[in-house]
Structure 1
Amino acid sequence: MKRSLMVLTALVCSSVSLAATVAEVKKKGVLVLGTDPTFAPFEFKGPDGTVQGFDIDIARAVAKDLGVRLEIRAVGFGALMPQAVTSGRVDMAMSGITITAERAKVVAFSAPYYRSAQVFIVRGGNPGKFAWPADVKGKVVGVQANTTGQFVADEVLKPKGATLKAYDDFAAGLADVRAGRIAALVGDAPTVADLKKRLPGQFAQAGADLAAEDYGMVFARGSDLAAAANRTLARMKADGSYQALLNKWIVQK
């Protein structure tokens, strides 16, 4: 996502991972998934209040292959990565979490399960005529705090003269885009597609991609659940069920 992790050396040294094992999960009969359900179409609350989405269905497949039920715990991203994972509060985390070398110092990742990109979200019709990389100097660009989008924007956009505005709440950034208070908001490509579907005409994508990134399932370091998740992912890609989920949640008809 979107989602970045600011890890200090002290945190790396002091984190104690309580790594749930496959045997422990099977014994208790439940796989506990931590997710921040604010990132459609990957995880979000449906009209009935249940958490659903692309990530959720993959997690259900992992639980099914283990022979256990999936329990979903809604956790704010700041608490999810890495504390909820390393403390053992959850067995795994999925929330559009980008695989980075920094994060891999404190958690274990599955193989990549989705390739995304950081893009610019603008008002429908792009009345401000925002473009990248041609048109960023002097523009106010929104980012979600503590995300890979913010990290990339700090590295790439600020030196080119952009003013960055950080939001704890992605929806607040979207509101400012819609109101014309900022020129663009950095977000994930699938988010733009979902916004276009749910809110026709209100938002669009502008300019070239800012950066590409891979999402991974997250586990405590030392847990054999990561290998189990990789087996499920390989099975799904082989039997067509992975593509079926892409078609269900992400591929635009």
Structure 2
Amino acid sequence: MRCRNAAIAVSTLTVAAALVGCDADGADPNTLRVGTEGTCAPFSFRGADGEVTGYDIEVIEAIGERLGMRVEYRLALNRPALFSGLRSRRVDLVANHVAPTLPLSEQYELSRYYAEARPVILTRPGEDLNASVTEMSGRNAAYWDCGNWSDGIDASQGGAKVTVESLDHAVRLTKDGHVDATVTDSMAVADYLTRTADDNLVATGITPPFSLPQTFVARKNDPVMDEVDRALIEIRADGTLHAISEKYFGTGSVLPEE
């Protein structure tokens, strides 16, 4: 069990091309070291001040405050580097809009779910496109999803699959007619609409519907996850998690059912 103190968590951003830092032997037991990419808005990204922020980050900050732990961020270039940092004990937790999968659960410890997303197709108004996996075959589509949806919904069969760095970029390609649709995530769409109030796109859920919850990831059998789960229960019960959700995604709750 990690030590606690009474101090409110203070975030520290460590900027690097890959995860860096001391190994586990030199780790401060009062510091929660969190691996993230910082390029996955609205979940983990750099704010105007250069500091890492986002939905996942604010949830982790609330967890750190509840545990009386300082939160320190280690940035990675990509997801493989994130999990490499976890295995090598450079970080204690990964917070990066991660969806649970069977292979992931077999290798790592997964937290309680703190959000739930659904795949969404964005099209121009009037486009004759049923939002189904089979209908996407042969369509040109832009994909931005931070790694959660592209494997499950593939428009590359006869069409172009364009990977973009942000949802805003994908939206521009769709509006300009460079692609037929954008395949993304209901949480990202909610954030986009909250920021822009854009009514020039049609958002349709994939049929048949399915969803993927979001989870934090730790090393297998690491007791830190028991603490994280306890804190998640508490910040959900006192309304903190709902308030963070509403800030980024509007009034529509993204919290999974209990």
Which letter does structure 2 place at the counterpart of 1:182? V
Assess, with a 3 A threshold, how the Cα gap between structure 1 residues 200 and 240 changes in structure 2: closer, same or farther: closer
Deviations 1:23-55 (A, max 9, x none): x86x44311111122333322222222222221
* Greater per-residue helix proportion: 1
Q: What is the alpha-carbon distance in structure 2 between the residues aligned to residue 48 and residue 192 of structure 1?
A: 24
- Superposition RMSD in Å: 2.9
Matches within 5 A, 1:157-236: 163-167=159-163, 169-170=165-166, 173-201=170-198, 204-209=201-206, 211-236=210-235
Q: Give yes or no for the alignment of 1:35 onto 2:36.
A: yes
The alpha-carbon deviation at position 129 of structure 1 amounts to 3.8
Which letter does structure 1 place at the counterpart of 2:150? Q
Assess, with a 3 A threshold, how the Cα gap between structure 1 residues 83 and 173 changes in structure 2: closer, same or farther: farther
Q: What is the alpha-carbon distance in structure 2 between the residues aligned to residue 91 and residue 101 of structure 1?
A: 21
The alpha-carbon deviation at position 212 of structure 1 amounts to 0.5
The alpha-carbon deviation at position 138 of structure 1 amounts to 3.0
Q: What is the alpha-carbon distance in structure 1 between the residues aligned to residue 177 and residue 248 of structure 2?
A: 29
Please tell me whether the aligned partners of residues 41 and 194 of structure 1 are also in contact (alpha carbons under 8 angstroms).
yes
Assess, with a 3 A threshold, how the Cα gap between structure 1 residues 245 and 221 changes in structure 2: closer, same or farther: same
**Number of matched residues?**
226
The alpha-carbon deviation at position 201 of structure 1 amounts to 3.0
Q: What is the alpha-carbon distance in structure 2 between the residues aligned to residue 219 and residue 203 of structure 1?
A: 40
Please tell me whether the aligned partners of residues 34 and 74 of structure 2 are also in contact (alpha carbons under 8 angstroms).
yes
The alpha-carbon deviation at position 164 of structure 1 amounts to 5.0
Q: Give yes or no for the alignment of 1:132 onto 2:131.
A: yes
Deviations 1:68-88 (A, max 9, x none): 211122223333442122122
Identity %: 22
Please tell me whether the aligned partners of residues 119 and 189 of structure 1 are also in contact (alpha carbons under 8 angstroms).
yes
Q: Give the TM-score, by structure 1 length.
A: 0.76
Q: What is the alpha-carbon distance in structure 1 between the residues aligned to residue 129 and residue 82 of structure 2?
A: 32
1:142 aligns to what? Answer: 142
Q: Give the TM-score, by structure 2 length.
A: 0.75
1:4 aligns to what? Answer: none
Which letter does structure 1 place at the counterpart of 2:64? A
Q: What is the alpha-carbon distance in structure 2 between the residues aligned to residue 145 and residue 236 of structure 1?
A: 26
1:82 aligns to what? Answer: 83
The alpha-carbon deviation at position 173 of structure 1 amounts to 4.0
SS in 2 for 1:177: helix
SS in 2 for 1:94: strand
Deviations 1:184-236 (A, max 9, x none): 12211111122223344376343323531000011111211111110001111
1:100 aligns to what? Answer: 101
Deviations 1:112-142 (A, max 9, x none): 11111111133xx435443313843431123
Q: What is the alpha-carbon distance in structure 2 between the residues aligned to residue 54 and residue 146 of structure 1?
A: 14
Select between 194-203 and 107-116 the one with higher mean Cα deviation.
194-203
The alpha-carbon deviation at position 100 of structure 1 amounts to 1.0
Q: What is the alpha-carbon distance in structure 2 between the residues aligned to residue 249 and residue 140 of structure 1?
A: 29
Which letter does structure 2 place at the counterpart of 1:141? A
